[in-house]
Amino acid sequence: MTVQGAIWRDQLTAGERATLGRDDGKVADQRPDVLVVGGGIMGVNIAAACHQAGIGNVLLIETGRLGAGATGGATGLLIPEPHQWSDPEPFVDLERASLARWRDLEQSLPGGVGMVQLDWLGLAPHDSGFAAHQPAGVEWLNPGQVSELIPGLARPMEGTLIRRQGRLNPLRALSRIAAGLPAVATGVAATGVTISGDRVIEVSTSAGSISPGTVVFATGQPPLLDGLQIGIPADRVKGHLLVTEPTDVRLPGIVAPLATQIEDGRLLAGGTLDVGDESPAIQQDVIDSIMASLGAVLPELRGIGVAYQWCCFRPHHPDRRPVIDRVPGLSNAWLTSGHFRTGILNAPGTAAVLARWIAAGEPPAELHTWSATRFAER
């Protein structure tokens, strides 16, 4: 029987699950120094970073349960180095800094965040490019070396190996960080803002109004709130994922574009880009095609069962880069949105940037890369 939903929640302890619904409907502080709106991986990390920076009382509100958005359905890969081939330098720098912060959280939080260190192996990269332009830290593997690491491939393949990347259960990480936050209210939606001059003076919510010193919107896509005009183009891109039944096949970490081995020998596969599919429903043909690709590369996987299958939506801006900025025209409101395919990886790094900006007035060096106004300038 295939479960129609992400595996992550089922892997949590009862205590971790309870944290995701912390203080349902209860706003403990109507006048926080910092109000964070949105309880995905971004919002929870931002609230933690602001708390740690000593900015004052921090309150996080989330309309559903923590991790109800893209975070709860993500793959959870923390892989900056493969993005050297696809992403601009400031982006990869943020990803590397963020992976370092995930490692710090793994060490410093009680019980860690559940991060696993893994190697990344890219199979059969396209003919041109990789061999000639190998960035630092990338090892080129010939077909013999690849087949030693992955016996049973349908055909010989070259590969690239990058060591010391990571993976986590996004809900476990979220829950572990949220457990240390001073004030969280789930089941509370922000609905509007009141602005006076260049300041947000009130945020209306489903549990009454809140008067924050500073507000940070971490709502996945830019927030849609009465009284707030944020003209940033944004949409969302659906993706499907699945987890197989346990198998004897052993993968050496994250094998792209094949799968990642998780607990019990199960394989986590997919991460499709289903552009234009706005339906929240799982498309069985997409799941079937993920399974067919697995079997085509590793014949031993043909006929293996699917234990979990799900889909979710990535928040996305047209240039595939996030916004990390002050809300244009406002002095006490910040926004981060559109983290697309790397929001889990980039959450602690983004949170550190915002906490430093709010606490010390220091914007990031590459401000324009993340600016909220870059779309209007084009």
Ligand X SMILES: Cc1cc2nc3c(=O)[nH]c(=O)nc-3n(C[C@H](O)[C@H](O)[C@H](O)COP(=O)(O)OP(=O)(O)OC[C@H]3O[C@@H](n4cnc5c(N)ncnc54)[C@H](O)[C@@H]3O)c2cc1C
Binding residues for ligand X, rule CB under 6 A, total 40
Q: String of b and e for 5-37 (b: at least 16 CB within 10 Å)?
A: ebbbbeebeeebeebbebbeeebeeeebbbbbb
Looking at 5-13, 23-31, 37-45, 208-216, which segment touches ligand X (CB under 6 A)? 37-45
- By beta-carbon proximity to ligand X, the closer residue of 153 and 334 is 334
Strand-pairing partners, residue 308, are 3, 243
Q: Are 301 and 244 in contact (CB under 8 A)?
A: yes
- Answer yes or no whether residue 39 interacts with ligand X by CB under 6 A: yes
- Answer yes or no whether residue 123 interacts with ligand X by CB under 6 A: no
State how far the Cα of 264 lies from the Cα of 59, in Å rounded to an integer. 38
- Answer yes or no whether residue 43 interacts with ligand X by CB under 6 A: yes
Number of Cβ atoms within 10 Å of the Cβ of 123? 17
Instruction: Find the binder of ligand X among 32, 38, 80, 166 (CB under 6 A).
Output: 38
Instruction: Find the binder of ligand X among 223, 253, 348, 349 (CB under 6 A).
Output: 223
State how far the Cα of 73 lies from the Cα of 8, in Å rounded to an integer. 8
> Among residue numbers 264 through 293, which ones bind ligand X (CB under 6 A)?
271
State how far the Cα of 339 lies from the Cα of 99, in Å rounded to an integer. 15
- Answer yes or no whether residue 344 interacts with ligand X by CB under 6 A: yes
- By beta-carbon proximity to ligand X, the closer residue of 124 and 177 is 177
> Among residue numbers 129 through 188, which ones bind ligand X (CB under 6 A)?
none
Instruction: Find the binder of ligand X among 50, 51, 69, 230 (CB under 6 A).
Output: 69
- Answer yes or no whether residue 103 interacts with ligand X by CB under 6 A: no
- R_g over Cα of the chain: 21
- By beta-carbon proximity to ligand X, the closer residue of 102 and 357 is 102
- Residue 11's contacts (CB-CB under 8 Å, 6 or more residues apart) are 169, 171, 172, 263
Which residues bind to ligand X, rule: CB under 6 A? 37-43, 61-64, 68-71, 73-77, 189-190, 218-220, 223, 239, 241, 271, 312-315, 339-345
